[in-house]
Amino acid sequence: MAIHYRNTAEAEDSLIAQINTTPLVDVMLVLLIIFLITIPVVNSSIVVSLPHEPNQARESRPENVIITVDAAGVIYWFDTRLASRQDLLQRLAPVAAMQPQPEVHIRGDARADYESIGQVVYAAQQAGVARIGFITEPPQEGR
């Protein structure tokens, strides 16, 4: 009676030649989905110090209009600086005519004068915008 052993060198080579990449692709797809979900929809390059107020979390939609007022009172339509209040009215008119009407979100710097933020609210009212909201930061813990 004879004992026969398999050639282990050939068996190991065949395993290395066929790498299964399915688990790697699955993990990468899950990470990609998590990354895409956690990216904030509102990403603005104008740096402002938002007021700290209790607020309700709302879902931000891509069709929402974001108007920023910096500390100096300069008005921005998303990331584009507006020269005057008339430019703001011209941009708000088509938004007010849309059905359904998107929301206008105002990011006002905490150091900005009330007058400059009030002008944005007044311009939105003149254009016929029905839904206006303010973007704030939640209060810090312990204050």
d(CA 126, CA 63): 20
Is this prediction's pTM over 0.75? no
Fold of domain 43-143: Nucleotidyltransferase; domain 5 (3.30.420)
How many Cα atoms sit within 13 Å of 77 on the Cβ side? 14
- Encode the chain (143 residues) as per-residue pLDDT tens digits: 566 666 655 555 555 556 778 888 999 999 988 877 776 555 566 677 766 666 666 666 667 888 999 988 899 998 899 988 889 999 999 988 988 888 898 988 888 888 888 899 999 999 999 888 888 777 776 55
